[in-house]
Structure 1
Amino acid sequence: MTPQLETINIPHLPNAPVHVALYRNVENSASLRQQLLAGNADFEYALIDASMVLSRQHAIAAIFRAVNDYSNNRLKSHNVHSEIVISFSPATNITESFRKFGITDSTKDLLVVKVSVSSEITHDSVAAHLESSVVATSVPFDDQSLSEISDITKIKKAYKLGALPSPGTKIDRAQTKAPTDDDVKRRLELSILGAIALRGS
């Protein structure tokens, strides 16, 4: 199945377009993780457990931070793809970041990110490689898809946002100005974006 691969151009980093694909029901997470651990250059991707991604904006903020650090020679890890996984984390511990946000052998929903760090890496080359490598259902990289995947409880725990309400929490709608689910999710998203922006700064 041809992946629904989206290519995003970061405005002030025109030389590093970013290719993003979202998958559900991944059947070969263990082998993908093994390729990553083995350092297989063909599998140099950021492989993120999509249940830890709240929204499209959440993902783009982490990607932006990592690509920006890459372009300014500020990487804390060995390449921009591992840096993307680390950039999702509010903590600076690299091992902890991979444990919470990276692919595991049991990952069912996967966000895949590839940065064009060379001219050979194109939308078509990434799409072809993913088509032959990932055994899963490709879905659009959008808020609708992510809302069906996100594990709000795990995300709040990772970002230490337990005090914030979760979307879907029963709120007395008779109260004046009771927040809607969208309001609750937006507040959560803003707190996460702040954590990403401030990490290690």
Structure 2
Amino acid sequence: METYTLPHLPPNLRVLHVAYFENVTNAPDIRRRLVAAATAPGAEGEAARTAVDFAFIEAGLLVSKEHLLTGALAALLTSLPQQARAELPAPPEPKTRSHNLHSEVLMALSPNNNITDAIRRHGVGDGTTRLAVVKFAAEGSSQAEVYGAIADVVKGELTPLDALDDAARIDWARVDKVYKLGEMNQLKVDDIPRRKVAAVVNTVAVKHVT
């Protein structure tokens, strides 16, 4: 698990925790918990939502560690108010187009702006065995506590994030379809996989640039 402190961001969103799991065995249960938490009422619902307050990302569509981190940062930066710092509330709360900031990560990773497509393609599915988990947290949050909360939900093998950089393990058929990269396979150039990784990361990075 890796933790990043982002000193230029508001203190309530200054820490980014990221974990990657392989051989996940309980994806259907995670999915059921997410659906139940979204609709449960009252205090019970709040507790259920807190327990799964993470971005759960299908790692089969991630082409690199940079891809994952770019999506997380894009979700955060595009959700913060754009006013001058002096005019911002303290601290500013993100304004999201989807359910919350964590589901916004799925939107950032998706090449389109359809939340249903983003959740279906990039969220945890019943067949998910490789899962990335992202948590936005306040300054001073404990990595050990965050990991403990994640481990209470995800049953799998914690794996270094650098494993996402292994191009040989990428499901290129799925990635080509989602990011529309099929034509790149016809190019008469060297190192097509590296070029496709760059294309995917750039797609996520510039998606909301106007």
How has the CA–CA distance of structure 1 residues 148 and 124 changed in structure 2, closer, same or farther, with 3 Å as cutoff?
farther
Partner secondary structure for residue 133 of structure 1: coil
| 1:156 Cα offset (Å) | 1.4
Is 1:67 the counterpart of 2:76 in the alignment?
yes
| 1:109 Cα offset (Å) | 0.6
Partner of 1:193: 201
Partner of 1:33: 31
TM-score under structure 2 normalisation?
0.78
CA RMSD of aligned residues (A): 2.4
Runs of 4+ in structure 1 over 6 Å off:
none
Match runs of 1:9-24 below 5 Å? 9-10=5-6, 12-13=8-9, 15=11, 16-24=14-22
Residue-pair matches, total: 184
8 Å CA contact retained: 1:7, 1:17: yes
Letter in 2 for 1:76: R
8 Å CA contact retained: 1:10, 1:64: no
Letter in 1 for 2:171: D
More helix per residue: 2
- Tell me the percent identity: 29
Partner secondary structure for residue 135 of structure 1: coil
How has the CA–CA distance of structure 1 residues 158 and 114 changed in structure 2, closer, same or farther, with 3 Å as cutoff?
same
Is 1:101 the counterpart of 2:109 in the alignment?
no
TM-score under structure 1 normalisation?
0.81
Letter in 1 for 2:5: N
Match of 2:54 among 30, 45, 58: 45
Question: 2: distance between equivalents of 1:71 and 1:31?
Answer: 32
8 Å CA contact retained: 1:139, 1:145: no
| 1:138 Cα offset (Å) | 1.1
Please list every run of 5 or more consecutive structure 1 residues that lacks an aligned counterpart in the other structure.
172-177
| 1:92 Cα offset (Å) | 0.4
Question: 1: distance between equivalents of 2:141 and 2:72?
Answer: 17
Per-residue CA deviation, residues 16-68 of structure 1 (Å, 9 max, x unaligned), is 21111111111111111112122222111110110000001111110110011
Partner of 1:112: 133
How has the CA–CA distance of structure 1 residues 122 and 14 changed in structure 2, closer, same or farther, with 3 Å as cutoff?
farther
Question: 2: distance between equivalents of 1:113 and 1:101?
Answer: 13
Is 1:158 the counterpart of 2:178 in the alignment?
yes
| 1:120 Cα offset (Å) | 7.7
| 1:179 Cα offset (Å) | 1.2
Partner secondary structure for residue 163 of structure 1: helix
| 1:143 Cα offset (Å) | 4.4
8 Å CA contact retained: 1:24, 1:110: yes
Please list every run of 5 or more consecutive structure 2 residues that lacks an aligned counterpart in the other structure.
38-47, 82-93
How has the CA–CA distance of structure 1 residues 10 and 151 changed in structure 2, closer, same or farther, with 3 Å as cutoff?
farther
8 Å CA contact retained: 2:27, 2:124: yes
